[in-house]
Structure 1
Amino acid sequence: MNDPAAVEAFKAQHYLSDDDLTALQAITLPAERKIQDYRSTYNDVRDWLRREKAGAEKDKSTIDWDDVVFEVDLLKSQEINLDYILELIFEHNKKIKSKSELVDEVRRVIRASLGNRAKESLLVDFINQNDLDQIGDKASVIDAFFTFAQAEQQREAQELINAENLNAEAARRYITTSLKREFASDNGTELNGVLPKMSPLNPQYLTKKRKRPAKSPSEHQH
Protein backbone atom coordinates (compact mmCIF):
# COMPACT_ATOMS: atom_id res chain seq x y z
CA MET A 1 0.00 0.00 0.00
CA ASN A 2 3.01 2.30 0.34
CA ASP A 3 3.85 1.91 -3.35
CA PRO A 4 1.34 3.86 -5.50
CA ALA A 5 2.54 2.19 -8.72
CA ALA A 6 2.12 -1.28 -7.20
CA VAL A 7 -1.38 -0.35 -5.97
CA GLU A 8 -2.43 0.82 -9.43
CA ALA A 9 -0.99 -2.35 -11.00
CA PHE A 10 -2.90 -4.50 -8.49
CA LYS A 11 -6.14 -2.65 -9.22
CA ALA A 12 -5.64 -3.06 -12.96
CA GLN A 13 -4.79 -6.76 -12.67
CA HIS A 14 -7.93 -7.54 -10.65
CA TYR A 15 -10.26 -4.93 -12.20
CA LEU A 16 -10.76 -3.10 -8.89
CA SER A 17 -12.15 0.37 -8.32
CA ASP A 18 -11.06 2.54 -5.40
CA ASP A 19 -14.20 1.47 -3.54
CA ASP A 20 -13.41 -2.20 -4.17
CA LEU A 21 -9.92 -1.71 -2.80
CA THR A 22 -11.26 0.03 0.29
CA ALA A 23 -13.70 -2.85 0.86
CA LEU A 24 -10.86 -5.37 0.55
CA GLN A 25 -8.79 -3.51 3.12
CA ALA A 26 -11.68 -3.65 5.58
CA ILE A 27 -11.68 -7.46 5.56
CA THR A 28 -10.07 -8.96 8.67
CA LEU A 29 -8.24 -12.19 7.85
CA PRO A 30 -7.66 -14.92 10.46
CA ALA A 31 -4.13 -15.25 11.78
CA GLU A 32 -1.90 -17.57 9.72
CA ARG A 33 -1.67 -19.99 12.64
CA LYS A 34 -5.47 -20.26 12.82
CA ILE A 35 -5.66 -20.86 9.05
CA GLN A 36 -3.10 -23.67 9.44
CA ASP A 37 -5.23 -25.19 12.21
CA TYR A 38 -8.29 -25.07 9.93
CA ARG A 39 -6.40 -26.79 7.11
CA SER A 40 -4.99 -29.40 9.47
CA THR A 41 -8.45 -30.24 10.85
CA TYR A 42 -9.86 -30.30 7.32
CA ASN A 43 -7.19 -32.82 6.30
CA ASP A 44 -7.87 -34.90 9.43
CA VAL A 45 -11.59 -35.05 8.61
CA ARG A 46 -10.82 -35.91 4.99
CA ASP A 47 -8.57 -38.81 6.05
CA TRP A 48 -11.17 -40.01 8.57
CA LEU A 49 -13.89 -39.90 5.91
CA ARG A 50 -11.82 -41.98 3.49
CA ARG A 51 -11.41 -44.66 6.17
CA GLU A 52 -15.11 -44.53 7.03
CA LYS A 53 -16.07 -44.80 3.38
CA ALA A 54 -13.85 -47.86 2.91
CA GLY A 55 -15.38 -49.49 5.99
CA ALA A 56 -18.90 -48.61 4.93
CA GLU A 57 -18.41 -50.20 1.52
CA LYS A 58 -17.57 -53.47 3.24
CA ASP A 59 -20.66 -53.20 5.43
CA LYS A 60 -22.84 -52.08 2.50
CA SER A 61 -23.82 -48.87 4.24
CA THR A 62 -26.85 -46.92 2.99
CA ILE A 63 -24.96 -43.61 3.32
CA ASP A 64 -24.48 -41.87 -0.03
CA TRP A 65 -20.83 -40.89 0.33
CA ASP A 66 -20.89 -39.29 -3.11
CA ASP A 67 -22.74 -36.35 -1.57
CA VAL A 68 -19.63 -35.52 0.47
CA VAL A 69 -17.05 -33.65 -1.59
CA PHE A 70 -13.72 -32.31 -0.40
CA GLU A 71 -12.23 -29.46 -2.36
CA VAL A 72 -8.78 -30.99 -2.59
CA ASP A 73 -7.88 -28.87 -5.62
CA LEU A 74 -8.59 -25.77 -3.56
CA LEU A 75 -6.23 -27.00 -0.86
CA LYS A 76 -3.57 -27.88 -3.42
CA SER A 77 -3.68 -24.36 -4.78
CA GLN A 78 -2.47 -23.22 -1.33
CA GLU A 79 0.00 -26.08 -0.90
CA ILE A 80 3.40 -25.37 0.59
CA ASN A 81 6.48 -27.19 -0.57
CA LEU A 82 9.12 -29.02 1.43
CA ASP A 83 11.77 -26.37 0.81
CA TYR A 84 9.49 -23.80 2.44
CA ILE A 85 9.11 -25.98 5.55
CA LEU A 86 12.89 -26.46 5.77
CA GLU A 87 13.48 -22.72 5.42
CA LEU A 88 10.90 -22.22 8.16
CA ILE A 89 12.86 -24.61 10.39
CA PHE A 90 16.02 -22.57 9.76
CA GLU A 91 14.30 -19.23 10.50
CA HIS A 92 12.38 -20.44 13.54
CA ASN A 93 15.44 -22.13 15.04
CA LYS A 94 17.08 -18.70 15.31
CA LYS A 95 14.10 -17.41 17.33
CA ILE A 96 12.97 -20.54 19.18
CA LYS A 97 15.72 -22.18 21.20
CA SER A 98 13.49 -24.99 22.49
CA LYS A 99 13.41 -27.98 20.15
CA SER A 100 10.05 -29.11 21.50
CA GLU A 101 8.53 -25.71 20.66
CA LEU A 102 10.14 -25.82 17.22
CA VAL A 103 8.72 -29.31 16.64
CA ASP A 104 5.23 -28.12 17.65
CA GLU A 105 5.47 -25.19 15.24
CA VAL A 106 6.67 -27.38 12.36
CA ARG A 107 4.02 -30.05 13.04
CA ARG A 108 1.37 -27.35 12.73
CA VAL A 109 2.64 -26.35 9.28
CA ILE A 110 3.09 -29.95 8.07
CA ARG A 111 -0.39 -31.05 9.12
CA ALA A 112 -1.89 -28.15 7.19
CA SER A 113 -0.24 -29.54 4.05
CA LEU A 114 -1.60 -32.38 1.94
CA GLY A 115 1.68 -33.32 0.32
CA ASN A 116 3.96 -33.28 3.36
CA ARG A 117 1.92 -35.11 6.01
CA ALA A 118 3.70 -38.42 5.36
CA LYS A 119 7.04 -36.71 6.06
CA GLU A 120 6.07 -35.43 9.51
CA SER A 121 7.98 -38.04 11.51
CA LEU A 122 11.02 -37.68 9.25
CA LEU A 123 11.12 -33.89 9.67
CA VAL A 124 10.67 -34.20 13.45
CA ASP A 125 13.51 -36.73 13.61
CA PHE A 126 15.66 -34.36 11.56
CA ILE A 127 15.06 -31.54 14.06
CA ASN A 128 15.71 -33.73 17.09
CA GLN A 129 18.79 -35.51 15.76
CA ASN A 130 20.68 -32.55 14.28
CA ASP A 131 22.45 -29.49 15.70
CA LEU A 132 20.53 -26.87 13.73
CA ASP A 133 22.72 -24.08 15.13
CA GLN A 134 25.62 -25.46 13.09
CA ILE A 135 23.71 -25.05 9.80
CA GLY A 136 24.79 -21.72 8.33
CA ASP A 137 22.10 -20.83 5.80
CA LYS A 138 18.81 -21.90 4.21
CA ALA A 139 20.48 -23.78 1.36
CA SER A 140 22.55 -25.76 3.85
CA VAL A 141 19.49 -26.84 5.86
CA ILE A 142 17.91 -28.21 2.67
CA ASP A 143 21.12 -30.13 1.83
CA ALA A 144 21.37 -31.40 5.41
CA PHE A 145 17.79 -32.66 5.35
CA PHE A 146 18.16 -34.58 2.09
CA THR A 147 21.41 -36.15 3.33
CA PHE A 148 19.59 -37.15 6.53
CA ALA A 149 16.56 -38.47 4.60
CA GLN A 150 18.72 -40.62 2.31
CA ALA A 151 20.53 -42.12 5.32
CA GLU A 152 17.19 -42.84 7.01
CA GLN A 153 15.87 -44.45 3.84
CA GLN A 154 18.90 -46.75 3.65
CA ARG A 155 18.62 -47.59 7.36
CA GLU A 156 14.90 -48.42 7.13
CA ALA A 157 15.43 -50.43 3.96
CA GLN A 158 18.10 -52.50 5.72
CA GLU A 159 15.82 -53.01 8.73
CA LEU A 160 13.07 -54.22 6.39
CA ILE A 161 15.47 -56.57 4.60
CA ASN A 162 16.69 -58.01 7.91
CA ALA A 163 13.24 -58.31 9.48
CA GLU A 164 11.69 -60.06 6.48
CA ASN A 165 14.82 -62.02 5.51
CA LEU A 166 14.68 -60.55 1.99
CA ASN A 167 17.23 -60.92 -0.78
CA ALA A 168 19.24 -57.75 -0.13
CA GLU A 169 20.38 -56.80 -3.64
CA ALA A 170 17.01 -57.51 -5.26
CA ALA A 171 15.18 -55.71 -2.43
CA ARG A 172 17.27 -52.53 -2.78
CA ARG A 173 16.76 -52.59 -6.54
CA TYR A 174 13.00 -53.07 -6.10
CA ILE A 175 12.76 -50.23 -3.56
CA THR A 176 14.75 -47.86 -5.80
CA THR A 177 12.57 -48.69 -8.80
CA SER A 178 9.37 -48.26 -6.77
CA LEU A 179 10.50 -44.85 -5.50
CA LYS A 180 11.30 -43.65 -9.00
CA ARG A 181 7.91 -44.60 -10.41
CA GLU A 182 6.18 -43.63 -7.11
CA PHE A 183 4.29 -46.89 -6.63
CA ALA A 184 5.10 -50.49 -5.75
CA SER A 185 3.95 -53.21 -8.12
CA ASP A 186 3.54 -56.94 -7.53
CA ASN A 187 3.23 -57.68 -11.24
CA GLY A 188 5.92 -59.64 -13.05
CA THR A 189 8.92 -61.16 -11.32
CA GLU A 190 10.40 -58.08 -9.59
CA LEU A 191 8.80 -58.68 -6.20
CA ASN A 192 9.23 -62.45 -6.41
CA GLY A 193 13.01 -61.98 -6.62
CA VAL A 194 12.94 -59.96 -3.40
CA LEU A 195 11.23 -62.63 -1.29
CA PRO A 196 13.19 -65.34 0.50
CA LYS A 197 13.20 -68.66 -1.31
CA MET A 198 9.92 -70.46 -0.68
CA SER A 199 7.38 -72.28 -2.76
CA PRO A 200 4.45 -70.22 -4.13
CA LEU A 201 2.31 -73.01 -2.64
CA ASN A 202 3.57 -72.16 0.85
CA PRO A 203 0.70 -70.48 2.79
CA GLN A 204 3.17 -67.82 4.00
CA TYR A 205 4.12 -66.86 0.44
CA LEU A 206 1.14 -64.61 -0.34
CA THR A 207 1.11 -63.20 3.21
CA LYS A 208 4.74 -62.12 2.94
CA LYS A 209 4.23 -60.83 -0.60
CA ARG A 210 1.36 -58.58 0.46
CA LYS A 211 2.88 -57.42 3.74
CA ARG A 212 3.72 -53.71 3.98
CA PRO A 213 5.95 -52.31 6.73
CA ALA A 214 4.33 -49.87 9.16
CA LYS A 215 6.78 -47.18 8.08
CA SER A 216 7.67 -47.57 4.43
CA PRO A 217 10.90 -46.15 2.96
CA SER A 218 8.68 -44.77 0.18
CA GLU A 219 7.54 -42.07 2.62
CA HIS A 220 11.02 -40.56 2.27
CA GLN A 221 11.10 -40.45 -1.52
CA HIS A 222 11.08 -36.66 -1.80
Structure 2
Amino acid sequence: MFLTGFDATTLNTLWVDKNLKHHGLIQAFSRTNRILNSVKTFGNIICFRNLKKATDDAIALFGDREAGGIVLLKTYDDYYNGYEQDGKHKSGYKELIERLLAEYPLGVAILGETAKKAFIALFGAILRLRNILTAFDDFAGNEILSDRDLQDYQSLYIDLYQEFRPKDDGDKENINDDIVFEMELIKQIEVNIDYILMLVAQYHESNCTDKEILAAIDKAVNSSIELRSKKELIKGFIARVNTSTQVDDDWRKFVAEQKEADLATLIIDEKLKENETRRFIDNSFRDGALKTTGTDIDKILPPASRFGGGNRQEKKQGVIAKLLGFFEKYLGLV
Protein backbone atom coordinates (compact mmCIF):
# COMPACT_ATOMS: atom_id res chain seq x y z
CA MET A 1 0.00 0.00 0.00
CA PHE A 2 2.84 2.39 0.84
CA LEU A 3 4.38 1.88 -2.61
CA THR A 4 1.27 2.43 -4.73
CA GLY A 5 0.26 6.02 -4.19
CA PHE A 6 -1.39 5.72 -0.78
CA ASP A 7 -1.52 9.25 0.65
CA ALA A 8 -2.28 10.26 4.23
CA THR A 9 -1.15 13.78 5.07
CA THR A 10 -1.71 13.23 8.80
CA LEU A 11 0.60 10.19 8.91
CA ASN A 12 3.54 11.10 11.14
CA THR A 13 5.74 8.01 11.51
CA LEU A 14 6.67 5.13 9.19
CA TRP A 15 8.43 1.99 10.51
CA VAL A 16 10.62 0.30 7.89
CA ASP A 17 11.95 -3.27 8.16
CA LYS A 18 12.69 -3.92 4.52
CA ASN A 19 15.66 -3.23 2.25
CA LEU A 20 14.45 -0.40 0.02
CA LYS A 21 16.26 1.46 -2.74
CA HIS A 22 15.81 3.94 -5.56
CA HIS A 23 12.20 4.88 -6.42
CA GLY A 24 10.77 2.31 -3.97
CA LEU A 25 12.54 3.99 -1.09
CA ILE A 26 11.47 7.48 -2.17
CA GLN A 27 7.85 6.37 -2.62
CA ALA A 28 7.68 4.65 0.76
CA PHE A 29 9.37 7.49 2.66
CA SER A 30 7.17 10.05 0.92
CA ARG A 31 4.03 8.53 2.44
CA THR A 32 4.83 10.15 5.79
CA ASN A 33 6.53 13.27 4.47
CA ARG A 34 3.44 14.91 3.04
CA ILE A 35 3.48 18.42 4.47
CA LEU A 36 0.11 19.17 6.05
CA ASN A 37 0.55 22.60 7.64
CA SER A 38 3.05 24.53 9.76
CA VAL A 39 2.63 21.94 12.52
CA LYS A 40 3.41 18.92 10.34
CA THR A 41 6.39 20.06 8.29
CA PHE A 42 8.09 16.66 8.19
CA GLY A 43 7.64 12.99 9.01
CA ASN A 44 9.60 10.43 11.01
CA ILE A 45 11.15 7.33 9.45
CA ILE A 46 12.21 4.61 11.90
CA CYS A 47 14.50 2.11 10.17
CA PHE A 48 15.29 -1.38 11.43
CA ARG A 49 17.71 -1.75 8.50
CA ASN A 50 20.73 0.41 7.68
CA LEU A 51 19.34 2.45 4.79
CA LYS A 52 21.65 5.47 5.12
CA LYS A 53 23.57 4.83 1.87
CA ALA A 54 20.43 3.74 0.03
CA THR A 55 18.70 6.96 1.12
CA ASP A 56 21.63 9.14 0.00
CA ASP A 57 21.78 7.32 -3.34
CA ALA A 58 18.04 7.69 -3.92
CA ILE A 59 18.11 11.40 -3.13
CA ALA A 60 21.06 11.88 -5.49
CA LEU A 61 19.34 9.89 -8.25
CA PHE A 62 15.94 11.57 -8.14
CA GLY A 63 16.93 15.01 -6.89
CA ASP A 64 20.02 17.01 -6.03
CA ARG A 65 23.05 15.13 -4.74
CA GLU A 66 23.58 18.00 -2.29
CA ALA A 67 19.96 18.02 -1.10
CA GLY A 68 20.41 15.60 1.76
CA GLY A 69 20.40 18.39 4.32
CA ILE A 70 17.07 19.61 2.96
CA VAL A 71 15.35 16.26 2.62
CA LEU A 72 16.55 14.82 5.93
CA LEU A 73 16.29 16.47 9.33
CA LYS A 74 19.45 17.27 11.22
CA THR A 75 20.28 15.69 14.56
CA TYR A 76 18.68 16.47 17.89
CA ASP A 77 21.95 18.05 19.06
CA ASP A 78 22.00 20.38 16.03
CA TYR A 79 18.51 21.69 16.68
CA TYR A 80 19.00 21.92 20.43
CA ASN A 81 22.51 23.43 20.56
CA GLY A 82 22.88 25.00 17.12
CA TYR A 83 25.05 24.21 14.10
CA GLU A 84 27.14 25.76 11.33
CA GLN A 85 25.79 25.98 7.79
CA ASP A 86 27.46 27.69 4.84
CA GLY A 87 29.84 29.44 7.21
CA LYS A 88 26.99 30.85 9.32
CA HIS A 89 25.89 29.88 12.81
CA LYS A 90 22.31 28.65 13.12
CA SER A 91 21.06 29.22 16.66
CA GLY A 92 19.72 26.21 18.51
CA TYR A 93 16.75 25.99 20.86
CA LYS A 94 18.86 26.42 24.01
CA GLU A 95 20.49 29.59 22.72
CA LEU A 96 17.16 31.09 21.65
CA ILE A 97 15.61 30.37 25.05
CA GLU A 98 18.59 32.01 26.76
CA ARG A 99 18.06 35.09 24.58
CA LEU A 100 14.35 35.09 25.37
CA LEU A 101 14.92 34.99 29.13
CA ALA A 102 17.66 37.66 28.99
CA GLU A 103 16.04 40.11 26.58
CA TYR A 104 12.36 39.62 27.47
CA PRO A 105 12.09 38.65 31.15
CA LEU A 106 8.57 37.90 32.29
CA GLY A 107 6.87 40.73 34.12
CA VAL A 108 8.72 43.42 32.16
CA ALA A 109 6.67 45.22 29.51
CA ILE A 110 7.94 45.20 25.93
CA LEU A 111 7.94 48.82 24.80
CA GLY A 112 8.09 50.09 21.24
CA GLU A 113 7.19 48.52 17.91
CA THR A 114 10.77 47.48 17.13
CA ALA A 115 11.11 45.52 20.37
CA LYS A 116 7.71 43.92 19.89
CA LYS A 117 8.61 42.78 16.37
CA ALA A 118 11.90 41.36 17.63
CA PHE A 119 10.06 39.38 20.31
CA ILE A 120 7.55 38.07 17.75
CA ALA A 121 10.39 36.87 15.50
CA LEU A 122 12.31 35.28 18.38
CA PHE A 123 9.36 33.45 19.91
CA GLY A 124 8.20 32.32 16.45
CA ALA A 125 11.67 30.79 15.87
CA ILE A 126 11.41 29.04 19.25
CA LEU A 127 7.97 27.64 18.35
CA ARG A 128 9.29 26.27 15.05
CA LEU A 129 12.30 24.62 16.71
CA ARG A 130 10.15 23.27 19.51
CA ASN A 131 7.83 21.73 16.92
CA ILE A 132 10.79 19.85 15.42
CA LEU A 133 12.34 18.89 18.76
CA THR A 134 9.14 17.28 20.06
CA ALA A 135 9.77 14.53 17.48
CA PHE A 136 12.89 13.54 19.47
CA ASP A 137 12.54 11.55 22.72
CA ASP A 138 15.61 13.36 24.10
CA PHE A 139 13.66 16.63 24.27
CA ALA A 140 11.40 15.42 27.10
CA GLY A 141 12.62 17.06 30.31
CA ASN A 142 14.94 19.47 28.47
CA GLU A 143 12.41 22.14 27.52
CA ILE A 144 14.11 24.67 29.90
CA LEU A 145 10.93 26.77 30.16
CA SER A 146 8.46 25.57 32.75
CA ASP A 147 4.87 25.04 31.60
CA ARG A 148 3.78 28.19 33.42
CA ASP A 149 6.53 30.34 31.90
CA LEU A 150 5.70 28.98 28.45
CA GLN A 151 2.06 29.90 29.02
CA ASP A 152 3.06 33.43 30.04
CA TYR A 153 5.17 33.89 26.91
CA GLN A 154 2.34 32.47 24.79
CA SER A 155 -0.04 34.96 26.40
CA LEU A 156 2.27 37.81 25.45
CA TYR A 157 2.63 36.43 21.91
CA ILE A 158 -1.16 36.23 21.52
CA ASP A 159 -1.54 39.78 22.92
CA LEU A 160 0.77 41.03 20.18
CA TYR A 161 -1.03 38.91 17.58
CA GLN A 162 -4.30 40.58 18.51
CA GLU A 163 -2.60 43.99 18.49
CA PHE A 164 -1.00 43.60 15.06
CA ARG A 165 -3.34 41.25 13.20
CA PRO A 166 -5.35 42.48 10.21
CA LYS A 167 -9.12 42.21 10.04
CA ASP A 168 -9.01 38.94 8.10
CA ASP A 169 -7.66 36.28 10.46
CA GLY A 170 -5.72 33.20 9.43
CA ASP A 171 -3.75 30.40 10.98
CA LYS A 172 -0.39 31.78 9.89
CA GLU A 173 -0.55 35.56 9.86
CA ASN A 174 1.65 37.64 7.59
CA ILE A 175 1.02 41.07 9.09
CA ASN A 176 3.55 42.67 6.79
CA ASP A 177 6.89 41.76 5.28
CA ASP A 178 8.69 41.51 8.62
CA ILE A 179 6.05 40.00 10.95
CA VAL A 180 4.82 36.40 10.79
CA PHE A 181 2.71 34.81 13.52
CA GLU A 182 2.83 31.02 13.92
CA MET A 183 -0.68 30.56 15.26
CA GLU A 184 -1.00 26.91 14.18
CA LEU A 185 1.97 26.08 16.40
CA ILE A 186 0.36 27.97 19.29
CA LYS A 187 -2.84 25.98 18.81
CA GLN A 188 -0.86 22.74 18.83
CA ILE A 189 0.39 23.24 22.40
CA GLU A 190 -2.48 25.18 23.95
CA VAL A 191 -4.78 23.77 26.62
CA ASN A 192 -8.41 22.82 26.09
CA ILE A 193 -11.62 23.22 28.07
CA ASP A 194 -11.28 19.76 29.64
CA TYR A 195 -8.03 20.86 31.28
CA ILE A 196 -9.72 24.01 32.60
CA LEU A 197 -12.61 21.99 34.04
CA MET A 198 -10.08 19.69 35.73
CA LEU A 199 -8.57 22.75 37.44
CA VAL A 200 -12.05 23.98 38.37
CA ALA A 201 -12.72 20.57 39.97
CA GLN A 202 -9.50 20.93 41.97
CA TYR A 203 -10.61 24.39 43.07
CA HIS A 204 -13.96 22.92 44.12
CA GLU A 205 -12.19 20.18 46.10
CA SER A 206 -10.24 22.86 47.99
CA ASN A 207 -13.60 24.21 49.23
CA CYS A 208 -13.12 27.12 46.83
CA THR A 209 -10.20 28.52 48.82
CA ASP A 210 -7.10 27.74 46.71
CA LYS A 211 -6.28 31.00 44.93
CA GLU A 212 -3.25 29.46 43.22
CA ILE A 213 -5.59 27.25 41.19
CA LEU A 214 -7.51 30.34 40.08
CA ALA A 215 -4.22 31.92 38.99
CA ALA A 216 -3.34 28.74 37.06
CA ILE A 217 -6.71 28.86 35.28
CA ASP A 218 -6.19 32.49 34.34
CA LYS A 219 -2.72 31.76 32.95
CA ALA A 220 -3.97 28.78 30.98
CA VAL A 221 -6.88 30.69 29.44
CA ASN A 222 -4.72 33.68 28.49
CA SER A 223 -2.19 31.38 26.80
CA SER A 224 -4.85 29.87 24.51
CA ILE A 225 -6.11 31.63 21.40
CA GLU A 226 -9.18 29.37 21.48
CA LEU A 227 -10.06 29.82 25.15
CA ARG A 228 -9.66 33.59 25.23
CA SER A 229 -13.01 33.94 23.48
CA LYS A 230 -14.51 31.83 26.30
CA LYS A 231 -12.83 33.70 29.16
CA GLU A 232 -15.97 35.58 30.20
CA LEU A 233 -17.91 32.33 30.24
CA ILE A 234 -15.28 30.51 32.32
CA LYS A 235 -15.03 33.34 34.85
CA GLY A 236 -18.82 33.48 35.14
CA PHE A 237 -18.98 29.77 35.92
CA ILE A 238 -16.16 29.90 38.47
CA ALA A 239 -17.98 32.72 40.26
CA ARG A 240 -20.92 30.32 40.76
CA VAL A 241 -18.86 27.40 42.04
CA ASN A 242 -19.59 26.44 45.63
CA THR A 243 -19.32 23.34 47.80
CA SER A 244 -22.47 21.80 46.27
CA THR A 245 -21.40 22.31 42.65
CA GLN A 246 -21.22 19.27 40.34
CA VAL A 247 -18.55 20.67 38.05
CA ASP A 248 -19.15 18.75 34.80
CA ASP A 249 -22.96 18.69 34.97
CA ASP A 250 -23.31 22.27 36.18
CA TRP A 251 -20.87 23.50 33.51
CA ARG A 252 -22.99 21.97 30.74
CA LYS A 253 -26.15 23.52 32.20
CA PHE A 254 -24.43 26.89 32.62
CA VAL A 255 -23.19 26.91 29.02
CA ALA A 256 -26.63 25.98 27.68
CA GLU A 257 -28.31 28.73 29.72
CA GLN A 258 -25.77 31.39 28.73
CA LYS A 259 -25.90 30.40 25.06
CA GLU A 260 -29.67 30.74 24.99
CA ALA A 261 -29.56 34.08 26.83
CA ASP A 262 -26.85 35.49 24.56
CA LEU A 263 -28.59 34.33 21.39
CA ALA A 264 -31.97 35.75 22.48
CA THR A 265 -30.32 39.09 23.28
CA LEU A 266 -28.53 39.14 19.92
CA ILE A 267 -31.74 38.43 18.03
CA ILE A 268 -33.63 41.18 19.88
CA ASP A 269 -30.86 43.80 19.72
CA GLU A 270 -30.27 43.31 15.98
CA LYS A 271 -33.96 42.69 15.15
CA LEU A 272 -33.07 39.43 13.41
CA LYS A 273 -35.58 36.87 12.15
CA GLU A 274 -35.75 34.43 15.03
CA ASN A 275 -36.45 31.08 13.36
CA GLU A 276 -34.03 31.72 10.51
CA THR A 277 -31.30 32.88 12.91
CA ARG A 278 -31.65 29.88 15.20
CA ARG A 279 -31.53 27.54 12.20
CA PHE A 280 -28.45 29.37 10.85
CA ILE A 281 -26.67 29.10 14.23
CA ASP A 282 -27.54 25.41 14.66
CA ASN A 283 -26.19 24.65 11.19
CA SER A 284 -23.01 26.62 11.92
CA PHE A 285 -22.25 24.62 15.07
CA ARG A 286 -23.08 21.41 13.19
CA ASP A 287 -20.64 22.31 10.39
CA GLY A 288 -17.99 23.78 12.67
CA ALA A 289 -17.90 27.04 10.72
CA LEU A 290 -20.01 30.17 10.49
CA LYS A 291 -20.64 31.04 6.84
CA THR A 292 -20.39 34.79 6.25
CA THR A 293 -20.50 34.75 2.45
CA GLY A 294 -23.41 34.07 0.14
CA THR A 295 -27.02 34.85 1.02
CA ASP A 296 -27.32 33.09 4.41
CA ILE A 297 -26.73 36.27 6.41
CA ASP A 298 -29.19 38.26 4.28
CA LYS A 299 -31.92 35.72 5.09
CA ILE A 300 -31.73 36.44 8.83
CA LEU A 301 -31.53 40.25 8.60
CA PRO A 302 -34.67 42.33 9.19
CA PRO A 303 -36.51 43.41 6.02
CA ALA A 304 -35.00 46.44 4.29
CA SER A 305 -37.04 49.62 4.58
CA ARG A 306 -39.03 50.27 1.41
CA PHE A 307 -38.20 53.96 1.85
CA GLY A 308 -34.47 53.34 1.98
CA GLY A 309 -32.37 55.00 4.61
CA GLY A 310 -29.67 53.45 6.72
CA ASN A 311 -26.64 51.58 5.46
CA ARG A 312 -27.69 47.94 5.01
CA GLN A 313 -24.14 46.78 4.21
CA GLU A 314 -22.82 48.39 7.37
CA LYS A 315 -25.67 46.78 9.32
CA LYS A 316 -24.77 43.39 7.79
CA GLN A 317 -21.11 43.69 8.76
CA GLY A 318 -22.07 44.61 12.31
CA VAL A 319 -24.32 41.54 12.55
CA ILE A 320 -21.56 39.32 11.14
CA ALA A 321 -19.10 40.60 13.75
CA LYS A 322 -21.53 39.85 16.59
CA LEU A 323 -22.41 36.42 15.17
CA LEU A 324 -18.71 35.52 14.88
CA GLY A 325 -18.13 36.61 18.48
CA PHE A 326 -21.05 34.46 19.65
CA PHE A 327 -19.91 31.51 17.53
CA GLU A 328 -16.31 31.61 18.80
CA LYS A 329 -17.52 31.89 22.38
CA TYR A 330 -19.53 28.67 22.23
CA LEU A 331 -17.66 26.67 19.57
CA GLY A 332 -16.56 23.36 21.00
CA LEU A 333 -18.84 23.68 24.02
CA VAL A 334 -22.25 22.88 22.52
* TM-score for the superposition, normalised by structure 1: 0.69
> Hey, what does 1:60 align to over in structure 2?
none
Aligned residues of 1:99 and 1:128 also touching (Cα < 8 A) = no
Give distance in 1, aligned partners of 2:167 and 2:277: 34
Task: Please state how far the C-alpha of 1:205 moved relative to its aligned partner.
Answer: 2.5
Matching of residue 149 in structure 1 with residue 255 in structure 2:
yes
Q: Shift of residue 97 of structure 1?
A: 2.8
| Rounded Cα–Cα distance in structure 2 between residues aligned with 1:27 and 1:191 | 50
Relative to structure 1, is the Cα distance of residues 43 and 179 closer, same or farther in structure 2, using a 3 angstrom cutoff? same
1:35 and 2:122 matched: no
Matched, 1:135 2:242: no
Q: Aligned residue for 2:276?
A: 170
Which of 183, 206, 210 is matched with 2:313 structurally? 206
Larger radius of gyration: 2
Alignment-derived partner of residue 326 in structure 2: 217
CA contact (8 A) 2:273 2:301 kept: yes
**Equivalent AA in structure 1 for residue 234 of structure 2:** L
Deviates more, 1:45-54 or 1:169-178: 45-54
Residues 87 and 206 (structure 1 numbering): CA distance in 2 closer, same or farther, change over 3 Å?
same
Question: Residues 166 and 25 (structure 1 numbering): CA distance in 2 closer, same or farther, change over 3 Å?
Answer: closer
Task: Report how far residue 147 of structure 1 moved.
Answer: 2.2
> Of the candidates 199, 202, 208, which is equivalent to residue 91 of structure 1?
202
The structure whose RCO (Cα within 8 Å, separation 6+) is larger is 1
Q: Is the 8 A contact 2:204 2:241 kept in 1?
A: no
Q: 1:214 to 1:98 in 2, by over 3 A?
A: farther
RMSD between aligned alpha carbons? 3.5
Following TM superposition, by how much is the alpha carbon of 1:161 offset from its aligned partner in structure 2, in angstroms?
Answer: 1.2
Partner of 2:285: 179
Task: State the alpha-carbon separation in 1 of the partners of residues 214 and 312 from structure 2.
Answer: 41
- Provide the C-alpha distance between the structure 1 equivalents of 2:143 and 2:303, rounded to a whole number of angstroms: 65
Secondary structure at the aligned position of 1:157 is classed as helix
The AA in structure 1 aligned to 2:194 is D
Aligned to 1:203, the other structure's residue is in SS state coil
Partner Cα distance (1:77, 1:111) in 2: 15
CA distance in 2 between counterparts of 1:175 and 1:118 reads 17
Q: What's the CA shift string for 1:141-200, capped at 9, x where partnerless?
A: 233222211211110110011112222111211222223332232412x32332222248
**For the structure 1 residues 164 and 100, does the alpha-carbon distance in structure 2 shift closer, same or farther, using more than 3 Å as the test?**
farther
**2:267–2:273 Cα contact (<8 Å) kept:** yes
Where do 5+ consecutive residues of structure 1 fail to align?
1-14, 17-22, 55-63
Equivalent residue for 2:228? 117
Pick closer, same or farther for the CA change 1:25–1:42 going to 2, 3 Å. Answer: closer
Which one of the candidate residues 22, 41, 45 is aligned to 2:160?
45
Q: Which amino acid aligns with 1:209?
A: K
What is the Cα deviation at residue 106 of structure 1?
1.5
**Aligned residue number for residue 7 of structure 1:** none
With over 3 angstroms needed to count, the CA separation of the structure-2 counterparts of 1:206 and 1:91, relative to structure 1, is same
Distance 1:168 1:93, change over 3 A: same
Counterparts of 2:298 and 2:290 in 1: how far apart (Å)? 16
Match of 1:65 among 145, 166, 176: 176
Q: Is the 8 A contact 1:37 1:112 kept in 2?
A: yes
Question: How many pairs were matched up?
Answer: 188
User: What SS is found at the alignment partner of 1:69?
Assistant: strand
Gap change, CA 1:166 and 1:27, over 3 Å in 2: closer
Identity over the aligned pairs, expressed in percent? 25
Give the structure with the higher percent strand.
2
More helix as a share of residues: 1
Stretches of structure 2 that go unaligned for 5 or more consecutive residues are 1-75, 78-137, 170-174
* TM-score normalised to structure 2 length: 0.48
CA distance in 2, matches of 1:162, 1:25: 52
Secondary structure of 1:185's match? coil
In 2, the alpha carbon distance for the partners of 1:53 and 1:171 equals 24
Question: Which amino acid in 2 is paired with 1:154?
Answer: E
> For 2:267, what is the secondary structure of its paired residue?
helix
